[in-house]
Amino acid sequence: MDKEFIKQYIPLYSEAALLTVKIGFLGIAAAIIIGLVCETIVYFKIPVLRRIVSVYIEISRSTPLLIQLFFIYYGLPKIGIRTDAQMCGIAGLAFLGGSYMAEAFRSGVEAIDVIQEESAYSLGLSKLQTVRYVLLPQAISISAPALIANVIFLLKETSVFSAISLMDLMFTAKDLIGLYYNTTESLFLLVVFYLLILLPVSVIGSLIERRLRHAGYGV
Amino acid sequence: MSQVILEISHLHKVFDTVTVIEDLSLTVHEGEVVVIIGPSGCGKSTLLRCINALETIQGGEIKLHGNTVSKNSKDLHEIRQKIGMVFQNYELFPHMTVLDNVMLAPVKAQGRKKSEVREEALALLKRVGLESKADSYPRQLSGGQKQRTAIVRALCMHPEILLFDEVTAALDPQMVREVLEVILDLANAGKTMLVVTHEMQFARAVADRIVFFDDGQIIEQAAPDEFFDHPKTDKAKQFLNTFTFERDRSTTNRA
Amino acid sequence: MPDMGFDVLLKGKNFLRLLGGLGVALKISLMSVLISIILGTVLGILWHHNNLFIKAVMRSYLEVIRIMPQLVLLFIVYFGTTRSFGWNLSGETASVIVFSLWGTAEMSDLVRGALISISAHQYESAFALGLGKAQVYLYVILPQAIRRLIPLSINLVTRMIKTTSLVLMIGVVEIIKVAQQIIEANRMSSKNAAFGVYLTVFVMYFLACWPISLLARKLEKRWR
């Protein structure tokens, strides 16, 4: 392996990795918000909106991120909706991730026995207080493993961003392979940088999971 | 006679097409301990759930201190705060410590001062022998300890009436006693209670009045000694018979 | 009505070409799924046995495959093998290899999960009835495990189909690539083709995946 080559391109990869992290972070944050909103709508059985949410979830889960991005980036401008590549990446990730997050929250809420809710009511708590103090904290800790898995899944999905010419890690690697044929070094840097992003998330994720599992679970 | 706390008149409860409670009327006075007994699935638990408006009712009226209890009542939260309910499976909130479980409703629903509630909660926990468990999580407790916590949680709301729904049914036999003793203690302290139980000896000891319930109706009610020693109806006699066992030695096969 | 660019699809064989592209994507996913299910089942059963060495190997295999984006794996196999071993894998072959590696890992985890989820009491009560080890598996454990497994493996199929969209990035001519070609070829005559054509591809992916996930959900509910 060509050490000089590796040294030379570390800054370029770092920049690309920062872009991946930035878009990933914003997209995932948006996805979590969308997921929470969707689950709230489903939980309170809000008419009409509830239908829209279930259609959205089906569409989002049954199509690949790549075509979602192509449609947002190349298709939508034709009818006057224009976004730059970064915005488009965030939007795509949020559109895809929102449904996964919603499902994770839903499984958490569904795992709570109805009688927990009833026992909160029987103590005289209002519906809002019941959600806030009794249901939500439990739902979040039950959903945690799924939420963490989704975060990792979505971070990995960011690898397709190069398709809409975002200069992320994949873009950089492909570019260098095409330009200099330093395939081994380029791929090596690619793997190392993805590990630098994904390993800490994965480790922190399992720590959080373990913590939640020990914090007062099992009735 | 003392003041009426709970007044149920002509209550009707139907699940789909099955009538679970039919034209039931019952009055509970202040300081009275009423124990409801009857075969499983006869609607005893449903009755308690109706009193707390966890079920919608199809007819009749439930009044607590003259205020109607129903799922549509505007002040349902406030009415529920006056009714303490203890469930068969404890239903403690698993993500909160014992103390937080007890303090949640008084602080959040009743808006009482945290420091004052805390003091009272600790005193109540001490009274049921759980002062050392205040900072434990429910999963660290035995069944009996969980149920005592659930009782304290209901008590800390200063309810006007306590409802006990088969609170010992999920417990190991050696833990039943510690929970029943707490309830006896409350009875001695003059609390108004409506208790559903399968523990006949306990029912006899704690009750001021026994209500025998079957097929969604009150079949018979009487003072405990009278009911257990001289049941009037056939249904009650039959029911009490299920608790005694005899072996017919004459036909034992000795082959 | 404004020009939405759907007209391009009616020109010549454009729509058929898109379908052909979808066919390529489906072919790659089906081949990979088939390989994954077979290898994954075998490895999953092996993994369930209490051999520490197998456990360690399987765990590392799963973690390594899972931590990397599939696209990175695709790059490694497609570009890396050419460089290191001088193999000239076609894009399609590289895709099937990568997706099978990934699918096998996922499948073996599902199989192991299904076997674990059957409570120890089931094994014990079956043994207590005097059944032999093979009989216990054949009559008691496998029928229960398979019920749990079928909906999950069907889900794996939709995940696989969605994942095949990645092969575009290593130059395989599948549906999105065909779409690009059509849009490019009609850039003058139909300015808005990108909207209509990509929307059509979007819908086609949806139609390929959605019924399958519905089926999986239905089975899951019925067999719960």
DSSP C48-106: HS--HHHHHHHHHHHHHHHHS-HHHHHHIIIIIHHHHH-----HHHHHHHHHHHHHHHH
Q: What is the pLDDT of residues C58-85, one digit of tens each?
A: 999 999 998 999 999 999 999 888 777 7
Q: What is the pLDDT of residues C149-208, one digit of tens each?
A: 988 899 899 999 999 999 988 888 888 888 988 888 887 787 788 898 999 999 999 999
Q: What is the pLDDT of residues A144-164, one digit of tens each?
A: 889 999 999 999 999 999 888
The nearest CA of chain B is from the CA of A107 a distance in Å of: 17
Using CB atoms, which residue from C84, C162, C199 is nearest to A71? C199
Q: What is the pLDDT of residues A55-99, one digit of tens each?
A: 999 999 999 999 999 999 998 988 888 888 999 999 999 999 999
Domain tally for chain B? 1
- Averaged confidence pLDDT in chain A: 89
Q: Where are the domains of chain C?
A: 7-222
pTM of the full structure: 0.80
Here the ipTM equals 0.87
Q: By CA distance, what is A140's nearest residue in B?
A: B95
Mean pLDDT of A182-200: 91
Question: Which of B46, B78, B95 has the most A C-beta neighbours within 10 Å, making it the best mutation to test the interface with A?
Answer: B95
- DSSP code of B190? T
SS3 B3: coil
- pLDDT surpasses 90 at C16: no
Q: What is the pLDDT of residues C40-63, one digit of tens each?
A: 999 998 888 778 898 899 999 999
Look at residue B189 and tell me if it is in a domain.
Answer: yes
Residue A216: pLDDT band with limits 50, 70, 90: very low
Look at residue B96 and tell me if it is in a domain.
Answer: yes
CB spacing of A67 vs C176 below 8 angstroms:
yes
Q: Where are the domains of chain A?
A: 3-214
Helix or strand (DSSP H, E) at B15:
strand B4-15
Chain B residues with CB under 8 Å of a chain A CB are: 49, 52, 54, 77-85, 87, 89-97, 104-105, 108-110, 137-139, 153-154, 157
How does pLDDT run along chain B (255 residues), one tens digit per residue? 589 999 999 999 998 888 899 999 999 999 999 999 988 877 888 999 999 888 889 999 999 988 888 888 778 888 888 999 999 988 898 888 999 999 999 998 888 999 999 999 999 999 999 999 999 999 899 999 999 999 999 999 999 999 999 998 888 888 899 999 999 999 999 999 999 998 898 999 999 999 999 888 899 999 999 999 999 999 999 998 888 777 777 765 555
pLDDT at C204: 93
Look at residue B209 and tell me if it is in a domain.
Answer: yes
The distance of Cα A201 from the centroid of its chain, to the nearest Å, equals: 12
pLDDT at A218: 42
The nearest CA of chain C is from the CA of A101 a distance in Å of: 17
In one-letter notation, the amino acid at residue B212 is F
Q: What is the pLDDT of residues B191-238, one digit of tens each?
A: 999 999 988 989 999 999 999 998 888 999 999 999 999 999 999 999
The nearest CA of chain A is from the CA of C122 a distance in Å of: 23
CB proximity C187 to A under 8 Å:
no
Question: Which of A123, A131, A133, A217 has the most B C-beta neighbours within 10 Å, making it the best mutation to test the interface with B?
Answer: A123
Mean pLDDT of C107-129: 85
Q: Which two tokens stand for residue B245?
A: 């066992």
pLDDT at C2: 59
- pLDDT surpasses 50 at A47: yes
- pLDDT surpasses 60 at A219: no
pLDDT at C192: 82
In terms of DSSP H, where are the helices of A76-182?
A: 85-110, 114-122, 127-129, 136-157, 169-180
CA gap B58, B24 in Å, rounded: 12
- Averaged confidence pLDDT in chain C: 87
pLDDT at A87: 93
Q: Which two tokens stand for residue A58?
A: 């089906």
Look at residue B116 and tell me if it is in a domain.
Answer: yes
**CATH code for position B173:** 3.40.50.300
pLDDT at B1: 58
Look at residue B184 and tell me if it is in a domain.
Answer: yes
Sheet holding B59-64, edge to edge: B18-29, B4-15, B59-64, B67-68
Domain A3-214 has CATH 3.40.50.1000: no
Architecture of the domain made up of C7-222: Orthogonal Bundle (1.10)
Residues of B in contact with A217 (CB under 8 A): 94-95, 139
The nearest CA of chain C is from the CA of A188 a distance in Å of: 9
